[in-house]
Amino acid sequence: MEVMKPGPRARPWTDIIGPARGYIGVLFALSVTSNILMLTGSVFMLQVYDRVLPSRSVSTLVALTMLVVVLYAFYALIEWIRSRMASRLGGLVHERLARVLFPATVRLKLQGAPGMRANPVHDLDVVRLFIAGPGAISLLDLPWVPLYLALAFLLHPWLGTLALCGGLLIAGLLVINELHSRGPAQATTAAAGARAALTNDAQTNAESIVAMGMLGSITDRWGHSADLLAQTQQHSSDRTAFYSSITKGVRYLLQSAVLALGAYLVIEGQATGGLMIAASLLTSRALAPIEQMVGQWRAFVGARQAADRLAQVLAWQGAPPRPTQLPMPTERLSVEAMSTGSDPRRGPVVSGVTFQLSAGDGLGIIGLSGSGKSSIARALVGVWPVLEGAVRLDGSELHHFDPVELGRSIGYLPQAVELLDGTIAENIGRFGANHDTEAILKAATAAQVHDFIISLPDGYETRIGADGSAMSSGQRQRIGLARALYGDPFLIVLDEPNSNLDMEGDQALTRAIAEARKRGAIVVVVAHRPSAIAAINKVLFMRDGGQVAFGNKDTVLQQISLPPQPVVRTQSA
């Protein structure tokens, strides 16, 4: 229910994943050990060619071989531990962020904000998979490239110079790959988002699409989006494969060049055969992390872009819950010169709305379609942000309350009734871990839906199905009304609550509103049909996003029903 505003109190990324620093430290230590052990092959070949072969000592060869077996076994153990640690680090990041980002995913659907087109849950999966995969380990190996190059210089300056030139060439290819891959990667992300949005829209509006013969045209539209995604993915993949192939070829060429240069130095008497082989292995190892990064570059770019979007969402998410818990409202609702809209960047949809209600009041918001009635309802419950002015409960603005606690004091029935896949009892009880059975029965009885529920084979344990598709529109609306009444909330906001109700349902709605007002609740009803405001004592009349009249119901209804006054025109002489 809380309106999220970015600011200095927003939780930084580092605060949320702080415990991951210990994992990163262990991974770095393991990388040190792993890269030192990778020198085993070079040292072994150096000893074999320069010590074992000249001396023809079998015992020395056996001893060196046994030592190499032990070292490589230890290396395999370190690599296994390192992979498991990387996987645990990815899991830790997911654990720390998942419950923070899921609410943001839901709220991004309602409010405009930076990263509006982002899918935080999917982005978190991208980051987690990169951390847990070979990409992150390749990054940890990159700092050791200078060490290997330095050792090549120690073997011989010419060998070191050749290895350095090869490393700079591959690094240059990496930079060019980055510059050329950034655009295609962003285009692929945008195309994937557009296709996902079309798929979601088609599933949401399946009945209308099939009934009105729109499936063919929607399929064509979706097909264009899917083709665009396939083209961008292919373009990005081709570019990555191009640079990866060049990098691999350069590395193999460089390894042969080191052998050739080493052979020349042996011929000239400046190096030994063992040094030549060791330099070739050392150079290959030095350039391997760079080549691996080229191969992982697409995943790296995707993870980096996902991390940037997550940082935006975390900053937008706002401050953590306030430690000071305000008492729940019981007295009044005040709206002061309020302006609201779904996206602050597009400006307000409704402006200058002012009224005050006390406990037991009922307000009907009426007006033509598009006048801003539903916008006010969304702002009253915190679904849309207040851009100017204020919405206060007992003198405190909505975002001063703990959103979870305030939610228990608010009942809301949106115009499009939204039920979740679960049992009827879970939906009415708002999916609380320990929902109150007595309160569920009381709310269902107040909404006059109890008799219908118990007539079902599984009663309150009947599963509604995805989007409530197993129920009729009227049944969903009455179950939604019961959910809004659950727990006797102080503020009840009903948007077109009788749009799908028959006469019996209308009567039940009127009784429910009257009972809620009688116990001291404030009830706000957005209405087109007069029967929805039968139990209401105040009316707010809206026109073109502005407040026209507010007051007692009879007075306002009489005022707006008066014939318009004729415009007096004067004729110029």
Locate the domains of the chain by residue range.
13-317, 332-561
Alpha-carbon distance of 203 to 197, in angstroms, equals: 10
> Band of the pLDDT at 263, cuts 50, 70, 90?
confident
Q: What is the pTM of this model?
A: 0.67
Distances (CA, A) of 344 to 241, 359, 403: 43, 31, 21
User: What is the average pLDDT value for the chain, to the nearest integer?
Assistant: 80
Q: Tell me the pLDDT tens digit for each residue of 191-234.
A: 887 887 788 777 766 766 776 667 788 788 888 888 888 888 88
Does domain 13-317 fall into CATH 1.20.1560.10? yes
Instruction: Tell me phi and psi for residue 194, to 5 degrees.
Output: -65, -40
Chain position carrying tokens 């707010």? 540
Chain position carrying tokens 């996987």? 87
Alpha-carbon distance of 547 to 540, in angstroms, equals: 7
Burial class (CB in 10 A: 0-12, 13-18, 19+), 403: middle
Instruction: Tell me phi and psi for residue 123, to 5 degrees.
Output: -60, -40
pLDDT of residue 523: 93
Q: Which two tokens stand for residue 505?
A: 């349902």
- Most confident listed range (39-53, 191-205, 366-380): 366-380
Q: Quick one: CA dihedral 335, 338, 344, 348, positive or negative?
A: positive
Lowest mean pLDDT among 66-70, 169-173, 380-384, 396-400: 169-173
Lowest mean pLDDT among 14-28, 249-263, 274-288, 291-305: 14-28
> Band of the pLDDT at 509, cuts 50, 70, 90?
confident
Alpha-carbon distance of 105 to 121, in angstroms, equals: 7
Lowest mean pLDDT among 112-121, 135-144, 152-161: 112-121
Whether 11 shows a pLDDT value over 60: the answer reads no
Alpha-carbon distance of 555 to 440, in angstroms, equals: 38
> Band of the pLDDT at 525, cuts 50, 70, 90?
very high
pLDDT of residue 322: 56
Residue range 280-298: mean pLDDT, rounded:
74
> Band of the pLDDT at 110, cuts 50, 70, 90?
low
Q: Mention every residue, 6+ apart, whose C-beta is less than 8 A from residue 129.
A: 90, 299, 303
Estimate the crossing angle of helix 134-141 against helix 58-108, to 10 degrees: 120
CATH number of 332-561: 3.40.50.300
Residue range 241-263: mean pLDDT, rounded:
80
| Amino acid (one-letter) located at 208 | S
pLDDT of residue 475: 83
> Band of the pLDDT at 502, cuts 50, 70, 90?
confident
**Residue 488: Cβ within 10 Å count:** 18
**Partners of residue 334 on adjacent β-strands:** 356, 392
pLDDT of residue 95: 80
Alpha-carbon distance of 155 to 164, in angstroms, equals: 13
